[in-house]
């Protein structure tokens, strides 16, 4: 299931990340959850990431203006303990990067949790941009959009001093602001209901899960 989740089934990554936290001492309910996940995979065996144009000739994209550009979505589930970061990266022909990971520190606000999640996403975006330039050094890469459903996080990415309550945030993640200033990435707002990265951070209602699943697998 780990192999499938990391290669063709991003819709299972959040559940897998939860199960992996219990590998050293799984209980009965963890085994039952793993069985349910396996049953889900068997029941949806024909689903997977598809790298091609749709039948109508259009590429999958949040907005029509991004059909020929790499873009990403970032999200977190602010929790009383350590939050979970989730991200997904789309290329010209579909999803090619995703992840769900427990944050290393305890965020004291939803803005801080979103900022950490955005930083994790930005690291993967930078790696993707380096790969594209390795393929063709002559290619022009406009700033890569990273969509976040937290307006305060968007403002922090533009001007870190815009909020006095986040001075304690680790300096190592300030590069989110630095790279935006350099025109490498662009952190943009998005409605929570449209943020596909929500799929990688928390359990969702069936309707919302199916909506976001349709954005990552066919």
**Residues 132-155 pLDDT 10s:** 888 877 778 889 999 999 998 898
In this predicted structure, the answer to whether residue 59 has a pLDDT above a threshold of 70 is: no
Q: Residue 59 CB: number of other CB atoms within 10 A? A: 16
Would you state the pLDDT for residue 105?
A: 85
DSSP assignment, residue 62?
S
Pick the closest to residue 2 from 21, 16, 19, 22 (CA basis): 16
Strands 144-148 and 94-102: unpaired
How sure is the predictor about 124, in pLDDT bands with cuts at 50, 70 and 90?
Answer: very high
Distance (Å, rounded) from C-alpha 44 to C-alpha 33?
17
Distance (Å, rounded) from C-alpha 203 to C-alpha 150?
19
Pick the closest to residue 107 from 50, 152, 60 (CA basis): 152
The listed range with the strongest mean pLDDT (43-52, 103-112, 191-200) is 191-200
Distance (Å, rounded) from C-alpha 8 to C-alpha 123?
21
Distance (Å, rounded) from C-alpha 127 to C-alpha 35?
35
Domain ranges of the chain: 2-43, 64-216
Contact assessment for residue 75 and residue 198, using Cβ atoms and an 8 Å cutoff: yes
Q: Residue 46 CB: number of other CB atoms within 10 A? A: 7
Would you state the pLDDT for residue 162?
A: 58
Distance (Å, rounded) from C-alpha 47 to C-alpha 152?
36
Residue 117 CA, chain-centre distance (Å), reads 8
Q: What is the pLDDT of residues 67-104, one digit of tens each?
A: 567 899 999 998 878 999 999 998 877 788 999 999 98
| CATH topology for the 64-216 domain | Nucleotidyltransferase; domain 5 (3.30.420)
Contact assessment for residue 128 and residue 89, using Cβ atoms and an 8 Å cutoff: yes
Pick the closest to residue 70 from 115, 124, 149, 10 (CA basis): 124
Would you state the pLDDT for residue 30?
A: 94
Consecutive H or E run containing 42: helix 28-43
Mean pLDDT (whole number) for 115-128: 92
Q: What is the pLDDT of residues 180-203, one digit of tens each?
A: 989 999 999 999 999 999 999 999
């Amino acid at each position: 299931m780990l192999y499938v989740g990391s290669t063709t089934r991003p819709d299972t990554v959040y559940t897998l990340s939860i199960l992996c936290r219990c590998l050293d001492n799984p209980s009965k309910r963890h085994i039952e959850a793993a069985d349910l996940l396996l049953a889900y995979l068997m029941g949806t065996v024909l689903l997977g990431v598809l790298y091609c144009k749709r039948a109508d000739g259009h590429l999958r994209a949040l907005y029509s203006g991004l059909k020929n550009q790499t873009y990403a979505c970032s999200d977190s589930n602010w929790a009383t303990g350590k939050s979970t970061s989730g991200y997904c990266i789309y290329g010209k022909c579909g999803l090619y990067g995703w992840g769900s990971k427990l944050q290393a520190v305890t965020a004291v606000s939803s803005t801080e949790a979103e900022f950490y999640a955005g930083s994790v996403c930005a690291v993967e975006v930078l790696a993707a941009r380096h790969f594209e330039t390795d393929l063709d050094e002559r290619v022009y890469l406009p700033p890569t959009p990273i969509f976040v459903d937290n307006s305060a996080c968007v403002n922090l990415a533009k001007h870190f001093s815009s909020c006095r309550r986040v001075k304690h945030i680790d300096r190592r993640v300030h590069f989110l602001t630095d790279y935006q200033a350099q025109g490498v990435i662009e952190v943009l707002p998005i409605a929570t209901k449209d943020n596909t990265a929500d799929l990688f951070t928390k359990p969702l209602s069936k309707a919302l899960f199916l909506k976001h699943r349709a954005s990552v697998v066919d």
